[in-house]
DNA sequence: CTGAAAGCGCTTACAG
DNA sequence: CTGAAAGCGCTTACAG
């Protein structure tokens, strides 16, 4: 391993001092440098292959241009991966990088994602978290007390002092269900998971809203045996998921006696992305129409309508808002609309 | 913003020097500290809420305990998200964090993922990349010259001086196809994308191997109009993917006149995860059996057999190998087997 | 327009 | 067993 080239080496070669090198390369226009000196420095830097040490810079400037992302989600669910991608690309375009953190607590009992801020490794934190509940009360107090730039995605915190990006689940569910109702008359059956969360309540309420709007009876609600753990990360190797008995939310849905619970011709609304495909296959119904209250690649093949989750946009919004906070701006709350769409592919078959 | 608590503050309170604080808290057993002093230091640190500054530590120790991950993949494809998850959890358990990098080149013309190493922000780099081709020749030379700890995932580099983790596509395809053939007699039809890569060649060869093994005619190969760009990241907002004309690889598959290209009863082998579901729906065939040469959540519903891609394991292997390199070990090449499995769910229906 | 110097907060040989 | 000091590589007021 060769000796590292430092700013001092460049300075020596250019016949200037390290300060001048810094002013030329970091380009803070606090000092003007003569064109001739600047050229000499740039040449020397290029000749020596100088790459400034960011750890030294961070120590001195007290900023890292890095954002911590607390995400323990099951990334095999494209929703979260897309949000992460939105964050990554936006951060990159704004001169930031993403550091992945877990939500668990480390050695000193401090939550990992807060610790990483206090250790000065990141300038702010985006919390996606392991469930849809959000950070605990202790962590929230630490964030407020230490003034940590902080944005929570899809946590429904309702805390104005914390930054947040949320989805308008209720309006989205209402719109998608209404779209389904507009295509065909029939009873609405709603399939949702077995656990309670603010998100699930909002979606269910939106389905009820749509039935009321249309003047039809409230939905028949079917509770699938799927717990909140389906949302979180793998505690075990997901490799195992695919060789033995299926344990994913999708697989457990098929255990229901679906063709006894719903009738052919029902308008079947599913809380999660991709469920309608499973119900369609499992029941073999030919008259029913389907809606997914979220979407993934497969919704286009099995759901007649679905909610278009703006996951990438949400990731982008998180970064934009966090950077505003890092630069001294206030925390804000953003609520993203969820448009409803018809399946382009199923629509093609109609013609 | 209150003044930051430093090691010196803790030292003052404990009546010792900053050196002692460092020895107590960083615990490098290079110096033994009396039990009584240690307690005083720990108490003072707790009382003051001391969290050591990692940027200072990194500058001094010349290590960051951070791994750069160059990943421009479409994370909506669970394969890559799972690999990332394997990396993240493994890194965490080994005391490392993950910094997301892009593969593009930044300001100084240096590839982003190499730059981040030269800037001393990471101790090593895992390359997943934007396509299955791997880093370019210039980058490889930089890695070798500067001795950058480096592992390439699924790049088929065949360069012994670089660390690598690859999949045994050929054997995997052979095994899955053989499993399909063992279930029913019939012609093998193989559906693959329109671009060439080492990975695609290996899979195709594996399918051919299986036909030869079984003494049946070589597969009928069908080329789907899907280009390599389907593997890479979004240049545009993927939000658009779901509101207009479908542009994903899955959607374009359905544009083929599949029911004219294959016959009901064919053994249909698909190169990518999830394709068999689309072919099954698009053709409506009742006699054919299907295999996916990769798997996702939906393969269990539509493919009779599939390859179980050890993505999580691969991510884990990358981190383990990289850390070994960071600690001075040599680069190694790891080839992961791809087991074939039968769909548990479709198997249930047989009974 | 440029130089000399202090300092960010740690770690770690070097003395005692 | 502990203290005093140097130094990691930058940035940035302060003089000139």
Residues 6+ apart with CB under 8 A from B347: none
Q: How far apart are the CA of A76 and the nearest CA of chain B, in angstroms?
A: 4
Give CA separation, B314 vs B299, B335, B336, in Å.
Answer: 20, 9, 7
Quote the tokens at residue B295: 């798997």
Does the CB of B30 fall within 7 Å of any strand C atom? yes
The pLDDT value recorded for residue B218 is: 97
Residues pairing with B151 in the sheet: B126, B163
Helices assigned H by DSSP within A27-108: 35-48, 54-61, 78-93
Name the residues in B26-45 having a C-beta closer than 7 Å to nucleic acid strand D.
31-34, 36-37
A190, A267 contact by CB (below 8 A): no
Percent of chain B past pLDDT 90, that is, above it, reads 60
Which pLDDT band, with edges at 50, 70 and 90, does B288 fall under?
A: very high
Residues pairing with B269 in the sheet: B190, B291
Pairing outcome for strands A267-270 and A188-193? parallel
Identity of the residue in B89, B110, B345 whose CB atom sits nearest the CB atom of A251: B345
Does the CB of B6 fall within 7 Å of any strand C atom? yes
* Closest C1' nucleotide to A60's CA: C8
Contact A81 B81 (CB under 8 A): yes
Cα–Cα distance between A347 and A183 in angstroms, integer?
11
Cα–Cα distance between B188 and B192 in angstroms, integer?
13
Indicate the burial class of B235 (C-beta count within 10 angstroms; 0-12, 13-18, 19 or more): exposed
Q: Which residue has the tokens 């629509």?
A: A347
Quote the tokens at residue A283: 């029941």
Quote the tokens at residue B169: 């596509």
**Tens-place pLDDT, residues B183-227:** 999 999 999 999 899 999 999 999 999 999 999 999 999 999 887
Long-range residue pairs from A256-261, CB within 8 A, at least 24 positions apart, any chain: A256/A222, A256/A224, A256/A225, A256/A282, A258/A282, A258/A283, A259/A283, A259/A284, A259/A285, A261/A189, A261/A222
Side-chain-facing half-sphere of B89: CA atoms under 13 Å: 22
Contact A97 B121 (CB under 8 A): yes
Cα–Cα distance between B139 and B137 in angstroms, integer?
5
Cα–Cα distance between A155 and A199 in angstroms, integer?
9
Torsional sign, CA B33, B38, B40, B42? positive
Mean per-residue pLDDT, A25-30: 73
Give CA separation, A5 vs A38, A93, B148, in Å.
Answer: 18, 28, 16
**Tens-place pLDDT, residues A93-152:** 999 999 999 888 766 778 899 999 999 999 999 999 766 677 889 999 999 999 999 999
Question: What phi, psi does B90 have (nearest 5°)?
Answer: -70, -45
Identify the weakest region by mean pLDDT among A55-59, B15-19, B33-37, B203-207. Answer: B33-37
Give CA separation, A301 vs A280, A342, B346, in Å.
Answer: 10, 11, 20
Contact A52 B82 (CB under 8 A): no
Q: What is the CA radius of gyration of chain A?
A: 26
Pairing outcome for strands A97-101 and B97-101? antiparallel
Sheet holding A305-307, edge to edge: A220-224, A188-193, A267-270, A289-292, A305-307, A340-342
Cα–Cα distance between A259 and B274 in angstroms, integer?
25
Q: Which residue has the tokens 């036909």?
A: B211
Three-state secondary-structure class, residue A189: strand
The pLDDT value recorded for residue A243 is: 45
B67, B124 contact by CB (below 8 A): yes
The candidate with the shortest Cα–Cα distance to A235, out of A128, A329, A130, is A130
Distance in angstroms, CA of A36 to C1' of D14?
24
SS3 letters across chain B: CCCCCCHHHHHHHHCCCHHHHHHHHHCCCCCCCCHHHHHHHHHHHHHHCCCCCHHHHHHHHCCCCEEEEECCECCCCHHHHHHHHHHHHHHHHCCCEEEEECCCECCCCCEHHHHHHHCCCCCEEEECCCCCCCCCHHHHHHHHHHCCCEEEECCCCCCCCCEEEEECHHHHHHHHHHHHHHHCCCCEEEEEECCCCHHHHHHHHHHHHHHHHHCCCCCEEEEECCCHHHHECCCCCHHHHHCCCCCCHHHHHCCCCHHHHCCCCCEEEECCCCHHHHHHHHHCCCCCEEEECCCCCCHHHHCCEEECCCHHHHHHHHHHHHHHHHCCCCCCEEEECCCEEECHHHHHHHC
Cα–Cα distance between B310 and B295 in angstroms, integer?
10
Q: Which residue has the tokens 């395809």?
A: B173
Which pLDDT band, with edges at 50, 70 and 90, does A256 fall under?
A: confident
Mutation to test the B interface, candidates A24, A70, A297, most B Cβ within 10 Å? A297
- pTM of the entire predicted model: 0.93
Cα–Cα distance between A80 and A195 in angstroms, integer?
20
* Count of A-B CB contacts under 8 Å: 195
DSSP A287: S
Does the CB of A7 fall within 7 Å of any strand D atom? yes
Q: How far apart are the CA of A122 and the nearest CA of chain B, in angstroms?
A: 10
Q: How far apart are the CA of B191 and the nearest CA of chain A, in angstroms?
A: 19
Identify the weakest region by mean pLDDT among A92-96, A108-112, B136-140, B271-275. Answer: A108-112
The candidate with the shortest Cα–Cα distance to B70, out of B171, B176, B159, B143, is B143
Residues 6+ apart with CB under 8 A from B317: B165, B334, B336
Identify the weakest region by mean pLDDT among A130-134, A153-157, A345-349, B18-22. Answer: A345-349
Contact B248 A297 (CB under 8 A): yes
Contact A345 B254 (CB under 8 A): yes
Residue B27 has pLDDT above 70, yes or no: no
**Tens-place pLDDT, residues B92-136:** 999 999 999 988 876 677 889 999 999 999 999 999 976 667 788
Instruction: Give the other-Cβ count within 10 Å of B99's Cβ.
Output: 21
**Tens-place pLDDT, residues A316-340:** 999 999 999 999 999 999 999 999 9
Contact A238 B55 (CB under 8 A): no
């Amino acid at each position: 391993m060769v000796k590292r080239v430092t700013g001092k080496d460049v300075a020596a070669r250019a016949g200037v001092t390290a300060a001048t090198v810094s002013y030329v390369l970091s380009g803070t226009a606090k000092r003007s440098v003569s064109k001739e000196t600047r050229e000499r420095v740039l040449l020397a830097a290029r000749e020596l292959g100088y790459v400034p040490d960011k750890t030294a810079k961070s120590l001195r400037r007290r900023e890292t241009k890095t954002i911590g992302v607390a995400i323990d989600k099951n990334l095999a669910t494209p929703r979260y991966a897309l949000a992460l991608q939105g964050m990554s690309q936006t951060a990159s375009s704004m001169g930031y990088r993403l550091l992945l953190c877990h939500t668990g607590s480390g050695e000193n009992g401090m939550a990992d994602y807060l610790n990483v801020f206090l250790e000065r490794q990141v300038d702010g934190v985006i919390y996606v978290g392991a469930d849809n509940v959000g950070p605990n009360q202790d962590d929230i107090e630490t964030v407020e007390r230490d003034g940590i730039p902080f944005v929570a995605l899809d946590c429904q915190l309702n805390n104005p002092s914390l930054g947040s990006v949320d989805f308008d689940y209720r309006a989205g569910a209402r719109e998608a269900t209404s779209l389904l109702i507009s295509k065909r008359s029939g009873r609405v059956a709603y399939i949702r998971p077995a656990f309670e969360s603010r998100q699930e309540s909002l979606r269910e309420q939106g389905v009820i809203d749509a039935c009321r709007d249309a003047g039809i009876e409230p939905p028949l609600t079917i509770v699938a045996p799927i717990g909140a753990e389906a949302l979180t990360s793998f505690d075990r190797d997901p490799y195992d998921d695919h060789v033995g008995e299926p344990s994913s939310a999708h697989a457990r849905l098929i255990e229901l006696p679906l063709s006894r619970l719903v009738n052919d011709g029902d308008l079947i609304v599913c809380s999660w992305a991709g469920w309608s495909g499973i119900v369609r296959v499992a029941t073999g119904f030919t008259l029913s129409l389907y809606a997914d209250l979220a979407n993934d690649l497969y919704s286009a093949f099995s759901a007649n309508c679905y909610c278009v989750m703006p996951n990438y946009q949400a990731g982008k919004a998180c970064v934009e808002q966090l950077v505003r906070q890092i630069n001294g701006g206030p925390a804000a709350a953003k609520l993203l609309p969820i448009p409803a769409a018809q399946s382009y592919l199923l629509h093609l078959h109609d013609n």
